[in-house]
């Protein structure tokens, strides 16, 4: 359901939440390697997340990206909304209809409504840091977020 951009953004943010802070930055090249995303794609994603104040960056020789404690307390839904620029992937009609009256008659409308509620709950319950820690605890040591 999520675009590649959102998936990559979520992976990157989860990794930054675990391994960075104001005194421990991570550059694009290193992060791209850690989360298996191309540098150009990751650069665009990080730039967007920085503009939306979901992550921080420092420029210069020892620059890089990191997350503040307040940013780590935000929900994944905020990252998804920032990268998708809307809730369209979660809220739009399953059949692509623009007219809401048509959607009300859709045979899938009630099923999709419950799935949407679950997605909002999943992405909006735990903080970014809590989610990252949970994932880290279930992944084996050779797996990366």
Top-tier CATH class for 4-89+127-138: mainly alpha
Average pLDDT over residues 41-59: 96
Q: Is the pLDDT of residue 12 over 90?
A: yes
End-to-end CA distance of the chain: 19
The larger pLDDT score, comparing residue 97 to residue 39, is at 39
Q: Which pLDDT score is estimated for 99?
A: 59
Q: Is the pLDDT of residue 119 over 70?
A: yes
Which range in 48-62, 78-92, 105-119 is most confidently predicted, on average pLDDT? 48-62
Cα→Cα distances 56→13, 15, 47, 127, Å: 11, 14, 10, 17
The larger pLDDT score, comparing residue 124 to residue 55, is at 55
Q: Is the pLDDT of residue 122 over 90?
A: no
Q: Is the pLDDT of residue 92 over 80?
A: no
- The span from the CA of 67 to the CA of 25, in Å, is 9
Q: Which pLDDT score is estimated for 57?
A: 96
């Amino acid at each position: 359901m999520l675009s590649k951009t959102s998936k990559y953004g979520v992976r990157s943010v989860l990794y930054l939440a675990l391994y960075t802070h104001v005194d421990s930055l991570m550059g694009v090249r290193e992060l791209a390697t850690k989360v298996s995303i191309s540098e150009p794609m990751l650069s665009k994603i990080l730039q967007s997340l920085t503009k939306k104040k979901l992550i921080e960056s420092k420029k210069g020789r020892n620059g890089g990206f990191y997350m503040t404690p307040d940013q780590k307390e935000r929900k994944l839904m905020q990252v998804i909304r920032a990268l998708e620029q809307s809730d369209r992937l979660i809220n739009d009609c399953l059949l692509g209809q623009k007219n809401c009256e048509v959607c009300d008659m859709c045979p899938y409308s009630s099923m999709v409504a419950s799935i949407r509620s679950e997605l909002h709950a999943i992405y909006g319950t735990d903080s970014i840091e809590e989610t990252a820690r949970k994932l880290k605890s279930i992944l084996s040591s050779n797996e990366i977020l």
